[in-house]
Amino acid sequence: MKCDPNNNTCKGNCPCKEYCPLGSALKLIGGKWKIPILCALSQDGTTRYNELLRKLRGITNTMLASSLKELEADGLIYRRQYLEMPVRVEYEITDFCTDLLPILAQLAQWGVQTHKSK
Amino acid sequence: MKCDPNNNTCKGNCPCKEYCPLGSALKLIGGKWKIPILCALSQDGTTRYNELLRKLRGITNTMLASSLKELEADGLIYRRQYLEMPVRVEYEITDFCTDLLPILAQLAQWGVQTHKSK
DNA sequence: CGGGATCCCGAGCGATACTG
DNA sequence: CAGTATCGCTCGGGATCCCG
């Protein structure tokens, strides 16, 4: 877990270090909707805003917009805006995020062992 | 990400399925303190309650107790109680959790690419 | 020593309405 | 179409005190 026991000054997510890469990684995909959004984008490829809104049953306008903004700022997705009429905006997974997907797949596989319906 | 696009009835973390293993996996290690706890236990092995309390600088009694209880209920750690005087309780990582650690290490390595101080 | 019981606050999220 | 603005609430987590 990339921790140094000799340095116990961590103020973040890890008890061992100032800066915990695991903590910062989890922040990027944290929150209620980021995983579902990435999941949808990784399956369907380039997707428009309202398409996402429909596919992610239950998400609100507010949460989709703010989540997309954060994901873009963190380099996980691209936002492409086409100045047509009406406006068209498309979202797509970045290479950085593509690197993440197989890791998440492993995590999902590990999670399968969890049979509890929590 | 183990999702089925043909089933859009997901009410959990994933837009594609009723039950998302990735979502349930992330729930097990979610919250503010579970990763730090697992990190400490994976480094130092078997550890006592008050030892954890000291090592995890900033954690409160309430959070340590509740986090440990959840981690045990989810099968990530063992709790062993020795009826000495005074009472001694030790916590340890389970094999199930040991399987998780290399995956988290990968996630941490991926997170290293994040240079933003968010 | 290893917790439990309460109280409380603020972030995160939802609902609704509005806009370029 | 693709968002922003505001409000309000729930609930994760902190602080403090208590208990076997």
Give the CATH number for residue A86. 1.10.10.10
**Does residue A56 share a domain with residue A2?**
no
Q: What percentage of chain B has pLDDT greater than the value 70?
A: 81
Strand D: list positions under 7 Å from protein Cβ. Answer: 1-6, 12-17, 20
CB A56 within 8 A of CB A64: yes
**Does residue B38 share a domain with residue B26?**
no
Instruction: Scan residues 31-70 of chain B and list those with Cβ within 7 Å of strand D.
Output: 31-33, 58-63
- The answer to whether the C-beta of A69 is closer than 7 A to strand D is yes
**Does residue A53 share a domain with residue A98?**
yes
**Does residue A36 share a domain with residue A7?**
no
Q: Is the pLDDT of residue B32 over 60?
A: yes
**Does residue A23 share a domain with residue A59?**
no
Q: How confident is the model at residue B85 (pLDDT cuts 50, 70, 90)?
A: confident
**Does residue B64 share a domain with residue B12?**
no
Q: Is the pLDDT of residue B49 over 60?
A: yes
CB interface of B with A, residues 62-101, below 8 Å: 74-75, 96, 99-101
Q: Which residues of A touch B75 (CB under 8 A)?
A: 114
Q: Phi first, then psi: what are they for B47, rounded to 5°?
A: -140, 145
Place of tokens 């000799």: A6
Average pLDDT for runs of 10 along chain A of length 118 = 39 53 91 95 95 94 97 97 93 96 93 62
**Does residue A21 share a domain with residue A68?**
no
Asked if B15 has any chain A CB less than 8 Å from its own CB, the reply is yes
**Does residue B24 share a domain with residue B45?**
no
**Does residue A106 share a domain with residue A77?**
yes
pLDDT (0 to 100) of residue B24: 87
Q: How far is CA A6 from CA A9, A43, B109, in A?
A: 9, 43, 20
Domain extent for B54: 32-117
**Does residue B46 share a domain with residue B24?**
no
Q: What is the reported pTM?
A: 0.86
**Does residue A87 share a domain with residue A50?**
yes
Kindly state the average pLDDT of the residues B78-88. Answer: 94
In sequence order, the β-bridge partners of residue B48 are B90
**Structural domain count, chain A:** 2
CB B91 within 8 A of CB B47: yes
Chain B closest CA to A61's CA: distance in Å? 16
Which residue of chain B is at minimal alpha-carbon distance from A36?
Answer: B14
> Do B13 and A35 count as a contact with CB atoms less than 8 A apart?
yes
Kindly state the average pLDDT of the residues B104-116. Answer: 82
Q: Phi first, then psi: what are they for B98, rounded to 5°?
A: -60, -35
Q: Which residues of B touch A42 (CB under 8 A)?
A: 1
Q: How confident is the model at residue B20 (pLDDT cuts 50, 70, 90)?
A: confident
**Does residue B77 share a domain with residue B22?**
no
